[in-house]
Structure 1
């Protein structure tokens, strides 16, 4: 190996280390995972979601002809999407630990269990 090539190896290694550090910093700053929940056929799908504090769930009305609603009434926070037309999305952020139930005000038998740790 020539002397010039030997000098390039440390420079290339330093460049690789810097690139990895920048990439890992970018990954660490990505927003929290989004947990998609569908409202279709008078059911939430999935019917059970596990989150971490501060994460959110996006509830999507996937029905073609039903209006839905997503609401939470808890001691620590409340949320109400209001009427959600087909295709509408509601983002619910869970600020505290606990077990919560998301309900549909239009279809009272629809329930989504959310476990936040």
Structure 2
């Protein structure tokens, strides 16, 4: 079990942590380098979230995220992307990847 915890710590240490709370991403935008990993945490104690990115050059789908869960996304392509929640359509995270 310690290996799994170490992996989460490594992901967080090498990337940025974004909170999902109150049906919003905090922060709502960020700039990362290509290949960088961000970790998105469902900080809502009673809500499911479902992350996805649909773009010509980059796609991602987290599936349903339970409260307290963490999802890592590694941006392998440069460009501007929107991370959206499939359950809460007003939730938007703008990510520019250099």
Instruction: Indicate the structure (1 or 2) with the bigger Cα radius of gyration.
Output: 1
Q: Work out which structure has the larger RCO, using CA pairs closer than 8 Å and 6 or more positions apart in sequence.
A: 2
List gaps (5 residues or longer) in structure 1. Answer: 1-29
Q: What's the CA shift string for 1:48-80, capped at 9, x where partnerless?
A: 011000001111000000000111001112101
| Equivalent of residue 40 in structure 1, options 9, 17, 21 | 21
For residue 55 of structure 1, what is the aligned residue in structure 2? 36
Q: Give aligned pairs, total.
A: 88
TM-score scaled by length of structure 2: 0.85
Between Structure 1 and Structure 2, the one with more helix by share is 1
List gaps (5 residues or longer) in structure 2. Answer: 1-9
Structure 2 residue matching 1:81: 3-state secondary structure: strand
Between Structure 1 and Structure 2, the one with more strand by share is 2
For residue 101 of structure 1, what is the aligned residue in structure 2? 82
Q: Which runs of 4+ in 1 moved over 2 A?
A: 30-33
Question: CA-atom RMSD, angstroms?
Answer: 1.5
Distance 1:70 1:59 in 2: 9
For residue 19 of structure 1, what is the aligned residue in structure 2? none
